Amino acid sequence: MPETGPTAADWAAAEALIRELPPDGRVLLICHVNPDGDALGSMLGFGLGLRRLGVRRMQATFPGPPEVPEPFRGLPGLDLLVPATEAYPDPDLVICFDAASESRLGELVDRLDTAGAALVLDHHASNTRFGGVHLVDPRAAATSVVAEQLLARFGVPLDAGIAECFYVALTTDTGSFRFDATTPEVHQLAARLLATGIRPGDISRRVFDTRPFGAVRLFGEVLGRARLEPAAAAGRGLVWTWATLDDLARHDQRPYVLEALIDSVRCTAEADVSCVLKQTAPGEWAISMRSKGAVDVSRVAVALGGGGHRFAAGFTGRGAAEEVVAAIRGQLDAALIPTAVG
Ligand code: AMP
Ligand code: MN
Ligand code: MN
């Protein structure tokens, strides 16, 4: 897939969809299922920007239970959120955020057909180009980068509310400016966001560095059972662990607390590939994978029905945990990045 961004025609088409909204047109914003900081931050920041443009009838939503993960409950623009069950059935315009494929829209996927028009803002190289108009930039560190560029075309000034949403998105997807996606442009955008007066220390503490004591103990247990397979991925190594619904229940924790687990697992020096299996139902797992550079984990994920980025990807796994890991193991060699071989 070419690493090129939207064309001038794509930008013009996206602008036209918004400019040509009928008076009192209804806009529905949708981000991906199990929303992360980029999904919620790009969607809510863009929604606040549209509001400044005078769009009055607007909803933001995501598929599945309408629960916002605790780390994001301080985000500006949360008043835009409605449960998926209450989302406009036939909006004039639907805008999708951070979703690489239709499957990430869950039960809201029908809006692509029932809406007057569909605009897609994303940065996954694996984006399937669903919907009508695409602003998909695989070079962008986060979907919020694309969202900010579109708002800038309308002359919407960054206020502290919009800035906080986009900052959360940017820090989430760059691992707080640690990943290679952290380009000079990322720091330039971060500088403009910080110039609105938002407080990076407060935001980071809330979003990344706060969890209930029960989650701390749960992490201890789940990390304690991690398995290291040095021979996997042609000797690059695999480390993995799993967390069940029973683990969550015993520690009285909500599923989203597990999203931070992969960051503790991927530290393992002896493994290039890391993986966390998070049980979502009996025999069903949400899989998070990361690579340090030897393996294209998005290839593994796509082969197993999911998607993502080269070094961060996921899919839905079925069966026993051991079976799911066997399926991953079986895909690792084919996903070795050629320049890293030998
Ligand atoms: P996560 O491990 O949930 O942080 O996800 C890492 C990356 O993989 C993100 O870019 C997600 O969009 C993508 N991803 C995770 N789960 C899935 C899935 N079931 N289907 C498609 N992409 C996924
Ligand atoms: Mn995301
Ligand atoms: Mn993203």
Give residue-wise pLDDT tens across range 199-220.
Answer: 999 999 999 999 999 999 999 9
Question: 12: how many CB neighbours lie within 10 A of its CB?
Answer: 13
- Among residues 64, 63, 57, 59, the alpha carbon closest in space to that of 31 is found at 63
Ligand 1 atom with least separation from CA of 32: 12
What pLDDT is stored for residue 320 in this prediction?
98
Backbone angles phi, psi at 210, to 5 degrees: -130, 125
Q: How far is the CA of 98 from the centre of ligand 3 (A)?
A: 5
Decide whether any atom of ligand 1 lies within 6 Å of the 317 Cβ.
Answer: no
Q: How far is the CA of 36 from the centre of ligand 2 (A)?
A: 5
Q: How far is the CA of 262 from the centre of ligand 1 (A)?
A: 12
- Among residues 140, 128, 170, 173, the alpha carbon closest in space to that of 4 is found at 140
Where are the domain boundaries for CATH 3.10.310.30 in the chain?
Answer: 213-340
Q: How far is the CA of 164 from the centre of ligand 2 (A)?
A: 17
Asked if 206 contacts 74 with a C-beta cutoff of 8 angstroms, the reply is yes
Asked if 177 contacts 171 with a C-beta cutoff of 8 angstroms, the reply is yes
If you take atom 16 of ligand 1, which residue's CA is the nearest one?
Answer: 314
Of 3.10.310.30, 3.50.50.100, 3.30.1490.20, 3.10.290.10, which CATH number belongs to 213-340?
3.10.310.30
- Per cent of the chain over pLDDT 90 is 97
Ligand 1 atom with least separation from CA of 124: 10
Where are the domain boundaries for CATH 3.90.1640.10 in the chain?
Answer: 8-208
In tens, the pLDDT along 3-18 reads: 799 999 999 999 999 9
> Which of the ligands is closest to the CA of residue 147?
3
In tens, the pLDDT along 127-140 reads: 999 999 999 999 99
Mean pLDDT for the chain overall: 97
Look-up of token digits 């103990």: 217
From its phi and psi, is residue 80 left (phi > 0), alpha (psi between -120 and 50) or beta? alpha
What pLDDT is stored for residue 174 in this prediction?
97
- How confident is residue 1, by pLDDT bands cut at 50, 70 and 90? very low
Q: Can you read off the two tokens belonging to residue 269?
A: 């020096």
Asked if 222 contacts 241 with a C-beta cutoff of 8 angstroms, the reply is yes
Task: Tell me: pLDDT of 272 over 60.
Answer: yes
> Which of the ligands is closest to the CA of residue 136?
3
Task: Tell me: pLDDT of 2 over 60.
Answer: no
What pLDDT is stored for residue 8 in this prediction?
98
Residue 13: exposure state from Cβ atoms within 10 A (0-12, 13-18, ≥19): middle
CATH of domain 8-208: 3.90.1640.10
Instruction: Report d(CA 324, CA 226) in Å as an integer.
Output: 15
Instruction: Report d(CA 285, CA 101) in Å as an integer.
Output: 19
If you take atom 14 of ligand 1, which residue's CA is the nearest one?
Answer: 314
Q: How far is the CA of 274 from the centre of ligand 3 (A)?
A: 19
Task: Tell me: pLDDT of 315 over 80.
Answer: yes
Mutate to test the pocket of ligand 1, among 104, 241, 300, 324 (most ligand atoms within 8 A of CB): 104
pTM confidence score: 0.95
Task: Tell me: pLDDT of 340 over 80.
Answer: no
Asked if 10 contacts 134 with a C-beta cutoff of 8 angstroms, the reply is yes
- How confident is residue 339, by pLDDT bands cut at 50, 70 and 90? confident
Backbone angles phi, psi at 136, to 5 degrees: -115, 115
DSSP code, position 251: T
Decide whether any atom of ligand 1 lies within 6 Å of the 316 Cβ.
Answer: yes
Strands 307-309 and 312-318: antiparallel
Q: How far is the CA of 96 from the centre of ligand 3 (A)?
A: 12
Decide whether any atom of ligand 1 lies within 6 Å of the 203 Cβ.
Answer: no
Q: How far is the CA of 199 from the centre of ligand 3 (A)?
A: 22
Maximum distance among all alpha carbons in the chain?
A: 62
If you take atom 18 of ligand 1, which residue's CA is the nearest one?
Answer: 315
DSSP E strands in 123-268: the ranges are 133-136, 227-229, 238-243
